Amino acid sequence: MSDRILAILSDAETDFVMFSTTWCPYCVKAKRMLEGHSLSCNDINVEEFEGMRDEVVVLTGHRTVPVIFDTRGEEHIFVGGSDNLEGYLSTSSASIEASEPAEPNTLLVSSGSMNRTAKIINDSKTADRRMSDA
């Protein structure tokens, strides 16, 4: 698991973190959705950091941009892309607080000095994949 991505998520002082590119219209759409809900976002252009796009893909399995995380709670929630964000923001629990897992994809990322764990749940396949490094 990428220490660089975990550090970005752990150090986030915004409501959401979005990994994006400058040329992506879906990234612009996602950013406007967040602004429309008065939610702050740290927008990170993966093209500006060598290897970052690959790290995000390895962590989430999500191959396209944007890749959006809800960083409001203790555990950071992988929301998905812009279409996933639209559904996520329409749920009352997401607009109030990040206490419930998102649908359809959830990646809970918690980091500590001894252990890092990520859990991905894909509703459509009811699959559960765990990645960890200690």
- pLDDT one-digit tens code per residue, 29-62: 999 999 999 999 999 999 999 999 999 999 999 9
Distances in whole angstroms, Cα of residue 98 to Cα of each of 23, 48, 75, 78? 29, 29, 9, 11
Q: Report yes or no on 124 lying in a domain.
A: no
Q: Give percent of the chain above pLDDT 90.
A: 63
Q: Report yes or no on 109 lying in a domain.
A: no
Q: Report yes or no on 130 lying in a domain.
A: no
pLDDT bin (cut points 50, 70, 90) of residue 91 is confident
Q: Report yes or no on 15 lying in a domain.
A: yes
Q: Report yes or no on 134 lying in a domain.
A: no
Q: Report yes or no on 116 lying in a domain.
A: no
Nearest to 124 by CA among 95, 87, 70: 87
User: Could you report how far apart the first and last alpha carbons of the chain are, in Å?
Assistant: 10
Domains: count for the chain: 1
Nearest to 94 by CA among 69, 65, 117: 69
> What's the pLDDT score for residue 109?
53
CATH code of the domain in which 72 resides:
3.40.30.10
Separation of alpha carbons 28 and 43, rounded Å: 10
Is the pTM for the entire model greater than 0.75? no
Q: Report yes or no on 30 lying in a domain.
A: yes
pLDDT bin (cut points 50, 70, 90) of residue 131 is very low
- The residue range of the domain holding 39 is 3-102
Q: Report yes or no on 76 lying in a domain.
A: yes
